[in-house]
Amino acid sequence: MANTGGDSLGFGRPGARAVPRLFPAVIPDVEELLQTAVVVRLPMRTRFRGLTARETMVFAGPAGWGEFGPFIEYDDAEAASWLRAGVEAAYLGPPDPVRETVPVNATVPAVPADEVAGLLRRYPGAGTAKVKVAEPGQTLDDDVARVAATREVIGRVRIDANGGWTVDEAIAAIRAIGDVEYAEQPCRTVEELAAVRRAVGVPIAADESIRKADDPFRVVAAEAADVAVVKVAPLGGMRATLELADGLGLDIVVSSALDSAVGIAAGVATAAALPRLDLACGLGTGSLFTADVAPPFLMHDGVVEPRWFGPGRALDVAAHAAPPDRQRWWRERLRRCHRLLRN
């Protein structure tokens, strides 16, 4: 495996830049990236994050495959970090691991309570489940029932509201839902997270307040979170994520951004390289797809094992290729983001 060499990423201390620079020596020409780039559309079992299919782009480099899959609504400035992560994977490869397996949580989308048990059968041996709550159009009663149904199968539950509650709503909801390992991003802002944390006595996890923040260290300064949920692609790569995790000093959960198997490989490699990993990671989302570009990372006994799609490894992209108009749309998007990385 590749080592963690390279120049400073700019993370690791309060006041550092929120998005580190990429290693200048490995920024390839845009035409080189586009030569192997293919946009795929992966069908999903259940609507998740409002999607029934996931579009993403994969491309190959000397260290293997990288992924560029920022969500459609993200602007180019935010999407450029995802390209940075894909380039790192394809041109530098993974950091050196310190563990052979990574514990992974089950993921429960905002489905009716009576569907939960069947869904959880896809996560053999999982000791922790993350349950989506605060879904638009649903009620607190729906959330309470979904969490209760999950607890009947997996006793340790964490919830994720994606910033969907006000402070008062979050306090009332967390109290109604009951015992949880932590509540992830119950509200949008750092100040709101801190207010909820003071009120409920339940660990709070920050996700968007870290990966979308100008200064991810504000959650630490404001005593707003106990856990940092970090995602490799939005944070600009595996090494950037490891340096940020070290600087935050919080418990770390590496999670996916609804990645294909290529992006999940980078997430698992990052979790495998963390000096300390006490909590299950959100890297079991491959089970949400009915098809993928490579064999998905499916858990056994509650864990997944690091695996890298190295140079010369063929992916199943032809069967899942997006239509020509989507190929053109993503290729132009990559060009724009590449220009931002070069500036």
Distance CA 207, CA 257 (A): 11
DSSP letters along 199-248, please? HH-S-EEESHHHHT-S-TTHHHHTT--SEEEEEHHHHTSHHHHHHHHHHH
DSSP state, 303? E
- Residue pair 245/230 in contact (Cβ under 8 Å)? The answer is yes
Give Rg (Cα) of the chain.
Answer: 19
> Is 212 noted as a catalytic residue in this protein?
no
160 labeled binding residue = yes
Residues 130, 132, 151, 211: which is the catalytic one? 132
Cβ atoms of 36 and 236 within 8 Å: the answer is no
Q: Do 315 and 67 meet the contact criterion of CB atoms below 8 Å apart?
A: no
Collapsed DSSP state (helix, strand, coil) of residue 193: helix
Find out whether 184 is annotated in a ligand binding site: yes
CA distance 187 to 195: 10
3-state secondary structure at position 45: strand
138, 115 contact by CB (below 8 A): no
- Whole-number Å distance between alpha carbons of 12 and 120: 37
142 known ligand binder: no
CA dist 106 and 86 (Å) reads 25
- Between CA 113 and CA 133 the distance in angstroms is 12
Which is it for strands 106-108 and 128-132: parallel, antiparallel or unpaired? parallel
Structural contact between residues 250 and 228, judged by C-beta atoms closer than 8 angstroms:
yes
Choose the catalytic residue: 54, 231, 239, 333.
Answer: 231
Task: Give yes or no: 130 in active site.
Answer: no
d(CA 17, CA 26): 20
Q: What residues act catalytically?
A: 132, 231
**Which residues line the annotated binding site for Mg(2+)?**
160, 184, 207
**Which residues line the annotated binding site?**
160, 184, 207
